[in-house]
Structure 1
Amino acid sequence: MRIVHLSTSDTAGGASRAAYRVHTGLKGLGHDSRMFVQKKWSVDPTVTGFTPSGGLVDRLRVRVRQRRITADFAPYPGKRPPGAEPFADDRTPYGDQPLRGLPECDIINLHWVAGFVDHLPFFETFKRRFPKVPLVWRLADMAPATGGCHYDRGCGRFKAQCGACPELGSNIDADLSRQIWQRKHDALANVGDAGMHIVATSRWVAEVASQSSLLGRFKRTIIPNALDTSVYQPRDKGFSRDLLGIPRNAKVVLFAADSSKHPRKGFAQLTEALEGIRGVDNLTLASVGGGKPAIGGNIPLINVGKVDDDRVLSMAYSAADVYVIPSLQEAFGQTVIESMACGTPIVGFASGGITDTVRPGQTGLLAPTGDVGALRQAIVDLLQDDAARHRLAETCRATALAEYALPVQARQYEALYRSLLGNS
Structure 2
Amino acid sequence: MKIVHLSASDIGGGAALAAYRLHRGLQRAGHDSSMLVAKRSSQDSSVLAFSPPNGLTVRIRRRFRRLLIDREFSRYRLSRPPGYEPFSDDRTPYGETVAAQLPPCDVVNLHWIAGFVDYQGLFGSLPGRTPIVWRLADMNALTGGCHYDDDCGQLGRGCGMCPQLGSGDREDLSRQVWLRKQKAFGALEPNQLHIVTLCRWMSVVVRESPILSRFPVTHIPNGVDLEEFSPRDRRLAREVLGIPHEARVVMFVSDQLTNRRKGFSLLIDALAGMTQCPNLVLMSVGKGQPPLAGGIPCLHFGHVNNDRWLSLIYSAADVFVIPSLQDNLPNTVLESMACGTPVIGFAVGGISDMVRDGLTGLMVPPRDVGGLRTTILGLLENPSMRASMSEQSRRIAVQDYSRELQVRRYLDLYKSLV
| Partner residue in 2 for 1:83 | 83
Shift of 1:184: 0.9
Aligned position for 1:420: 417
- Structure 1 counterpart of 2:119, one-letter code: H
Is 2:323 the counterpart of 1:337? no
CA distance in 1, matches of 2:151, 2:300: 30
1:88-237 aligned within 5 A: 88-126=88-126, 130-237=127-234
- Aligned partner of 2:361: which letter? G
CA contact (8 A) 2:97 2:121 kept: no
Q: Distance in 2 between matches of 1:53 and 1:59?
A: 7
Q: Find the aligned partners of 2:173 and 2:118 in 1 and give their Cα distance.
A: 16
Q: SS state of the match for residue 305, structure 1? A: coil
Deviations 1:110-144 (A, max 9, x none): 11111111011211222xxx232211100000100
CA distance in 2, matches of 1:279, 1:291: 29
Tell me if structure 2 keeps the 8 A contact 1:330–1:352. yes
Residue aligning to 2:66 = 66
Q: Who is 2:10 aligned against?
A: 10
- Note if 1:374 corresponds to 2:371: yes
The residue correspondences of 1:375-394 to structure 2 (distance < 5 A) are: 375-394=372-391
Alignment partner, residue 346 of structure 2: 349
1:125 counterpart letter in structure 2: S
Structure 1 residues 34-67: Cα deviation after superposition (integer angstroms, max 9, x where no partner): 1111111111121111111111111111111111
Equivalent residues, number: 418
Q: Which residue of 1 aligns with 2:303?
A: 306
* Whole-angstrom distance in 2 between the partners of 1:163 and 1:245: 51
TM-score of the superposed pair, with normalisation by structure 2: 0.97
**Do the aligned residues in 1 keep the contact of 2:129 with 2:192 (CA within 8 Å)?**
no
- Separation in 1, partners of 2:104, 2:265: 49
Superposed CA deviations along residues 381-402 of structure 1, whole A, max 9, x for unmatched, are: 2111111111111111111112
| Residue type of the alignment partner of 1:232 | F
Cross-structure match for 2:289: 292
Q: Deviations over 1:191-232 (max 9, x none)?
A: 012221100011111112112222121111111111211111
Runs of 4+ residues over 6 Å off in structure 1: none
Structure 1 residue matching 2:363: 3-state secondary structure: strand
The residue type paired with residue 23 of structure 2 is H
Rounded to whole Å, the distance in 1 between the matches of 2:19 and 2:81 is 30
Aligned to 2:325: 328
Q: Could you say what secondary structure the match of 1:63 adopts?
A: helix
Aligned partner (choices 263, 274, 299) of residue 277 of structure 1:
274
Distance 1:372 1:104 in 2: 51
Q: Retained in 1: the 8 A contact 2:238–2:244?
A: yes
Q: Secondary structure at the match of 1:48?
A: strand
Q: 1-side partners of 2:417 and 2:212: how far apart?
A: 18
1:325–1:347 contact (8 Å) kept in structure 2: yes
Query: Over aligned residues, Cα RMSD in angstroms?
Result: 1.3
Q: 1:243 maps to what in 2? A: 240
Alpha-carbon displacement from aligned partner over 1:294-338 (angstroms, at most 9, x marks no partner): 234332112111111111111111110000000010111210000
State the Cα distance separating 1:242 from its structure 2 match: 3.1
Letter of the aligned partner of 1:366 in structure 2? M
| Structure 1 letter corresponding to 2:373 | R
| AA aligned opposite 1:93 | P
Superposed displacement of residue 236, structure 1: 2.1
Moved more, 27-36 or 240-249: 240-249
Unaligned 5+ segments in structure 2 are none
| Letter in structure 2 aligned against 1:326 | P
SS in 2 for 1:125: coil
- Cα distance in 2 for partners of 1:109, 1:154 equals 28
Contact 1:368 1:374 in 2 (8 A): yes
Amino acid at match of 1:88: S
1:397 matched to which residue of 2?
Answer: 394
Equivalence for 2:57:
57
Find the aligned partners of 1:288 and 1:273 in 2 and give their Cα distance: 18
Q: CA deviation at 1:96?
A: 0.6
Deviation track 1:16-35 (CA, whole Å, cap 9, x = no partner) reads 00001111111111111111
Q: Percent identity?
A: 50
1:166 alignment partner, SS class: coil
Q: Return the letter of the residue paired with 2:139.
A: M
Tell me the distance in 2 between the aligned counterparts of 1:85 and 1:41: 22
Q: Which residue of 2 aligns with 1:39?
A: 39
With normalisation by structure 1, the TM-score equals 0.96
Letter in 1 for 2:45: P
2:265–2:291 CA contact under 8 A, matched in 1: no
Q: 1:278 Cα deviation (Å)? A: 5.2
Alpha-carbon distance in structure 2 between the residues aligned to 1:106 and 1:234: 38
How far apart are 1:85 and its partner, in Å? 2.2
